[in-house]
Amino acid sequence: MPVPVPAPITYTPVPIVEAKNLSESTFRLKYRSRKPVVIRGIVPSDLWFKQEDIIKKLKTPTVMIAHDNANFIDNDKYVSKRSAEDITVADIAQASSKQRLYLRSIVPEDVKDGLGLPLLQEIANVGSFKDDLMRLWLSSAGCITPLHYDRCHGTLLQLAGTKRFVIFSGDDTRQLYPCDGLNGPTHASRARYIGRHLDTQPSTILQQWPKLRDTDPWLVDLQPGDLLYTPPGFWHEVTSTSVSLSVTVPWDMTAQEIACVPAHMAF
């Protein structure tokens, strides 16, 4: 009897558009709350050499160390934290697989000024971004932010290095092993290492998380200068595929959007 070969998980590449070809109305009708998109031509792609300058400007940087050395969940159960006034980019880059480090911080004003945010504001037609939730993320290769969703419109600006995102719409929620509120918050999933195997060894994922067979993920490997938009309620897992520097810039849903959130976001 031939052994049945499991069907692979099919995935769709996240569409990529140039900012100069993206009007406010196209963003609104095609992408806003509907699907992820990479926008190129907003974010400067030459900030690698400035990283050391950038982290010297950080006021109260915190470095996280994951107990399993891979999955960074902002919770004492999974990570320890230390303040990191003395950290250098080399400390993070060379941490490698022995002890990965993930630095998170608020974004210094002059770094914010160089990010091209006025153009994003125009395309997304946003009154103001959520300044208090903007974050700078500097990670060793191999750091993972496990699968979860946010209640804001989210953008991640990839400033240096590379990151892999796997993204699912809220329609896939039942297949994504969401926590039940007791074993973790309901906006987080128990599934792990999806991005690591999605394109190469999907059977590894399916053995552990068989329901993923019935999902429709998007996949993207972000390069410096890419800006990724992720709609509210869309699940995403983020893997740093090299040492990586990113900034996240969220904005609130409108009252109208909040009034019709999908069921999985109601709690």
Ligand X SMILES: O=C(O)CCC(=O)C(=O)O
User: For binding to ligand X (CB under 6 A), which residues are involved?
Assistant: 137, 145, 150, 154, 156, 238, 246, 248
Q: Given the complex with ligand X, which of 33 and 206 has the nearer CB atom? A: 33
Residue whose CB is less far from ligand X, 20 or 87 = 87
Q: Which is nearer to ligand X, 102 or 209 (CB)?
A: 102
Task: Pick between residue 101 and residue 238 the one whose CB is nearest to ligand X.
Answer: 238
The sheet carrying 163-168 orders its strands as 12-13, 218-222, 163-168, 235-240, 144-148
Burial 194-215 (b: 16+ CB within 10 A, else e): bbbebeeebeebbeebeebeeb
Tokens of 144: 């993972």
Question: Quick one: which of 134, 152, 147 has its CA closest to 261?
Answer: 152
Q: Which is nearer to ligand X, 169 or 248 (CB)?
A: 248
- Shortest reach from residue 167's CB to ligand X, in Å: 10
- DSSP readout, 206-232? HHH-GGGGG---EEEEE-TTEEEEE-T
Tell me how far apart the alpha carbons of residues 132 and 251 are, in angstroms, rounded to a whole number.
10
Give 137 or 218: the residue with its C-beta nearer to ligand X.
Answer: 137
- Report, in Å, the least distance between residue 224 CB and ligand X: 14
- Least distance between ligand X and beta carbon 145 (Å): 3
Residue whose CB is nearest to ligand X in the complex, by number:
145
CA 50 and chain centroid, separation: 22
In the chain the first and final C-alpha atoms are separated, in Å, by 48
Nearest distance in Å: CB 101, ligand X: 13
Residue 175 beta carbon to ligand X: minimum distance, rounded to whole angstroms: 20
Q: Give the shortest CB-28-to-ligand X separation in angstroms.
A: 21
**3-state secondary structure (DSSP) of residue 65:** strand
Q: Report CA-CA distances (Å) from 34 to 2, 189, 216.
A: 42, 21, 14
